[in-house]
Structure 1
């Protein structure tokens, strides 16, 4: 196996979930995942936000607001295979968010209802598999009422119906009154079968300390899983100095993957911020390699 940061497009796209996990692990904290909204008009009109993310150094593309039962991606031509076409156009592994909604959640705000195709249920896991998703991310958008308990249950269903990489955790509270980073929940996620545990990036969620994230990353590694820290609080639209600081502090804490969210302009992070994140955690050499590599290699 090669490190993901050294892989060509054909090598990445031929990986199964186990191989992708190993390639990320071998990259030693130098993997970038960029989230993009699929339902908005793309930043650059005639191309997808995912293509922009790939061009600025991202290794992995995460689709947000993606309806697995009615799949559409803004910027793509008409196709019955949107995920497979997007992988061909970007040369990147592609996955989607599916949300484990808990109807009994103790909400801090009004609940936002989402379609069944966006929820983490058996039908959407089967659909994501058929569509060619390399990974799924079990998490919650603001106000959707996703809980740690519901995530743990969804992981078990995902393991039975999806063969790719499974990412699980919360980038923020998702409207629910409960701890966002909880070691007990992390252990439950890993025991249920999660490959990657998602947490908010340090400096993005109120009161979350470097020690808490570092302790979580240490536990995750001991349990044989990977850690992902996420910028999911619209700070993907901040200045490059803020992005650089977040990138370095989360690498120091032990994150295997660093995520940058979709709240820049038109459903994607400010492109320079994707590049800044990449350069901060792996330098210009590896960043330019990702930016310049041909999708036909």
Structure 2
């Protein structure tokens, strides 16, 4: 089993769910997932945020606010600021499936967020109804499979009313309809009251079949301490799941020292996978913070290899 550290685009193209999970496990706490908002104007309009995140050390790309029934990713059609095109042209064939195109451009596994919204939840502040293409439904999960997503993340954006109960139900649905790698959990309240770091919920996600249980990293949500996280991670791993520590409360836009401190704390707690969110600049983390996270958990060598590795390898 290759470590994800040693995997290149040709390896990722051959991987199924079990192989990808095994590669993440074999890396021993050295996997980086970077999240980007597909509807934002990219930080650099000449390319997608996914490409930029890969260039700064991400191993996997998680797309946020992606609608499977209206799939689009800003930046696939690059903009030249000094010679903007007038009018529209025919869409390139590869751009009709942006998941396939991002895989070609980055050479990395690509996944999406799907949100298990609880319409009965007492949300702190509710958003308007989410379209089905962003919700974790049987149809959207089947469409994610058809588009070629390598993984789905069952979680909630701010104010959406996603609950632990709905996440657990969505895991069962995803196992039936999607079949790829399943990440599940909450990195913040997602508009509902109650504890984000919930031991029973995390165990429930693992027992329901989540491959990776998502938990907030220490210092990202009030009251999440390293020792508490370590205890929950141990129980999640005992049930065969990997543990992901998420930076999902806009600290992806903090200074590099803060990101390094959070990363090392999460690694001491036992995290297998490290997520960095999309609320830095223009729908992605500050690029240097992706690099700082990567260097903190695995050093310059593996970081530079990932940054430099061509998607043609």
Map 1:108-119 to 2 at 5 A: 108-119=124-135
Cα distance between partner residues in 1 of 2:260 and 2:206: 30
Cα displacement (A) at 1:13: 2.5
- Can you list the C-alpha shifts for 1:62-119, whole angstroms capped at 9, x where unaligned? 0000001110001113422110110010010000000000011122223443211100
Which deviates more from structure 2 when the two are superposed, residues 103-112 or residues 22-31?
A: 103-112
Q: What residue is the counterpart of 2:277 in the other structure? A: 261
CA contact (8 A) 1:35 1:261 kept: yes
Q: Is contact 1:83–1:133 with CA below 8 Å preserved after alignment?
A: yes
The residue that corresponds to 2:105 in the other structure is 89
User: Which residue number in structure 2 is paired with residue 58 of structure 1?
Assistant: 58
Alignment correspondent of 2:22: 22
Q: What displacement does 1:229 show?
A: 0.7
Give the aligned length.
Answer: 297
Partner-residue secondary structure (3-state), 1:197: strand
CA–CA distance in 2 between the matches of 1:254 and 1:143? Answer: 29
Larger displacement relative to structure 2 (246-255 or 9-18) = 9-18
C-alpha distance in structure 2 between counterparts of 1:13 and 1:180, whole Å: 34
Structure 2 CA distance for aligned equivalents of residues 110 and 129 of structure 1: 29
Q: What residue in structure 2 maps to residue 4 of structure 1?
A: 4
SS at match of 1:178: coil
Residue 188 (structure 1) shift: 1.5
The match for 1:198 among 205, 209, 214 is 214
Q: Which residue of 2 aligns with 1:224?
A: 240
**Larger mean Cα displacement after TM superposition, 93-102 or 189-198:** 189-198
Q: Is the 8 A contact 2:126 2:161 kept in 1?
A: no
Structure-2 separation of matches of 1:82 and 1:112: 26
Mapped contact 1:112–1:143 kept (Cα < 8 A)? no
Structure 1 gaps of 5+ residues are none
Distance 1:13 1:268 in 2: 25
Map 1:226-241; keep pairs closer than 5 Å.
226-241=242-257
Residue 11 of structure 2: SS of its match in structure 1?
A: helix
- The alignment partner of 1:13 has SS state of helix
Aligned equivalent of 2:88: none
Distance 1:37 1:247 in 2: 22
Contact 1:111 1:175 in 2 (8 A): no
What 5-or-longer segments of structure 2 have no aligned partner?
78-90
Structure-1 residue corresponding to 2:68: 68
Residue 219 of structure 1 and its aligned partner are, at CA, apart by 0.7
CA contact (8 A) 2:8 2:309 kept: yes
Runs of 4+ in 1 over 3 A off after TM superposition: none
The reply on whether 1:40 has 2:56 as its aligned counterpart is no
Please tell me whether the aligned partners of residues 204 and 231 of structure 1 are also in contact (alpha carbons under 8 angstroms). Answer: yes
In the alignment, which of 100, 114, 121 is matched to residue 105 of structure 1? Answer: 121
Q: Which moved more, 1:19-28 or 1:68-77?
A: 68-77
CA contact (8 A) 1:155 1:189 kept: yes
Q: Deviations over 1:3-26 (max 9, x none)?
A: 001111110222111110000000
C-alpha separation between the residues in 2 aligned to 1:196 and 1:125? 17
- Structure 2 residue 96 is the aligned partner of structure 1 residue 80: yes
TM-score, structure 1 normalization: 0.98
245, 269, 272: which is aligned to 2:261?
Answer: 245
- Give me the CA root mean square deviation: 0.9
**Which one of 121, 126, 130 corresponds to residue 146 of structure 2?**
130
